[in-house]
A = this chain, B = another copy of it.
Amino acid sequence: MSQDSTTRIIANLRAWIAAAPPGARLPSNRALVAEHGASPVTVQKAMRQLIAAGLVESRPGIGTFVRSLRAARPADYGWQTSALGTPQARVSMLSSTQRSVAPDAIGLHSGYPASDLLPERAVRAAITRAARSSAALSRSPVTGMPELQEWFAHELAAAAPAGITPPTARDVLIISGSQSGLSSIFRAVVGPGQPLVIESPTYWGAMLAAEQAGVTLVPVPSGAYGPDPDDVDRALERTGARAFYAQPTFANPTGGQWPIETSDAILQIVRRRGAFLIEDDWAHDLAIDADPRPIAARDDDGHVIYVRSLTKSVSPALRVASVIARGPARERILTDRAAESMYVSGLLQAAALDVVSQPAWRTHLRGLRQQLRGRRDLLLDSVREHAPAAHIDTTPAGGLNLWARLPDGTDPARVVREAEARGLIIAAGDEWFPAEPSGPFVRLNYSSDDPRRFPDAARILGEVLDHLGD
């Protein structure tokens, strides 16, 4: 009863306060007792709650007043410095590949293909169908939608030679993008303070995930033909690392693809050393001159942990990827995923599966291959013609990027700045090196802007290099 009166008085006073100017004086407690037919105790209780809520302030002996808005004060979060301590990993800034830029600039910095390279109609139709399905209102199992697990398993199994037991749907964990998969693998399979062998240069997102997991990076040089297997072997031996992260197919940024002999040698090395190969097959659907050859398809002893995403080939909005792992490693990764995110939206999974299950998907991939080839060649020709000082020694057989070496002594950051001032956005190669860069590089994405602008882009790069070379 008294609770109800208190609630009623508070509601009335809140309305009164909302309409009153700051500093206005509230009716006296005596007036409120009379107005509401309530006891003084009830009125005092209501008033205490309004004070506690910060709506009014009491000046003893004078009255109760609507609180004035404090003048906007500079926020002081200094106390957090002591609560937080120094960061666990160095605070990594976001990559320049994720910047938003002026809409009229030529953007060759992004890590994603332009939307006109995506299967737009299939994506929109798949989402619309998923909106009508049970996937729009239900929860997905922790490991993912069984049919999508099946699809990923089948894709890898199709590349398995005779004699190798291919992965099954159970070995597949659906994740929300390969970045999440790498984070979980580095946390669950490598662990904080432990060494991880990586290529140099390599994908900056993998380095970011590894650093955030507290993993120590052990770089080995790599390039158009992958690393020297002996280097990898020595790095594993020297550091005791139990894992090697790599992109054997159309690596980002170099575009390199490992020869089959290198893949075999690396597989033998990780077997001998009791180690994992973490194979990031990021460009599986972005082949041009060669087909992807997942190493995971040739391993059935659980040595290869395989990551494949649909984000770049289906749609960045259908953020779905998979980790394929066997044995206890799968359990560790699953436990980390469950703790991290419980499950991936079934809507995204259903729509992505719909897209890749349509006959039009194969047609799309063939068209994409032609598109990528045309754009790659056009940018390559443009750079060779208009920016001959930018040396591209490998024509990538797949992926999205050219990796151009600038003349010795050039500062890539300065090239990037000056190019931006002239309307061209590119990425300095330094971001892909775990340590000091082996030379001055820039990365040029040939899939992220209108190819008709490539000659202009190359001209700008040429001008900047000429200017800096003077």
Contacts and interface: CB of A to CB of B under 8 A. Distances in A.
Interface of A: 17, 22, 49, 52-55, 66-70, 72-73, 75-77, 79-85, 87-88, 91-92, 94, 98, 100, 112, 115, 118, 120, 123-125, 127-128, 130-132, 135-142, 161-165, 176-177, 179-180, 183, 187, 189, 191-192, 205, 208-209, 211-212, 214, 242-243, 260-261, 264, 274-276, 298, 300-302, 315-319, 326-329, 331-332, 335-336, 338-348
B115 A137 contact: yes
Contacts of A183: 339-341
Contact of A162 (B67, B72, B301): B67
Given A85-B191, A100-B141, A345-B345, 9 more contacts: A75-B327, A83-B189, A91-B331, A91-B335, A125-B131, A131-B131, A137-B317, A212-B339, A318-B345
A243 B84 CA distance: 10
Copies of this chain held together in the complex: 2
Contacts of A243: 83
Given A80-B329, A302-B77, A92 B339 contact: yes
A75 B338 contact: no
Contacts of A120: 137
A177 B341 contact: yes
A318 B77 CA distance: 33
Nearest to A120: B137
Contacts of A112: 139
Contact of A327 (B72, B77, B142): B77
A104 to B, nearest CB: 18
B163 A68 contact: yes
A162 B75 contact: no
A137 B316 contact: yes
B348 A301 contact: no
B176 A341 contact: yes
A88 B191 CA distance: 8
Nearest to A17: B162
A168 to B, nearest CB: 11
A55 B161 contact: yes
Contacts of A342: 98, 177, 179, 205
A274 B127 contact: no
A452 to B, nearest CB: 21
Nearest to A116: B137
A196 B353 CA distance: 40
A112 B68 CA distance: 42
Contacts of A347: 127, 317-318, 347-348
Please give me the 5 A-B residue pairs with the lowest Cβ-Cβ distance, nearest first.
A77-B327, A54-B161, A212-B339, A127-B131, A317-B347
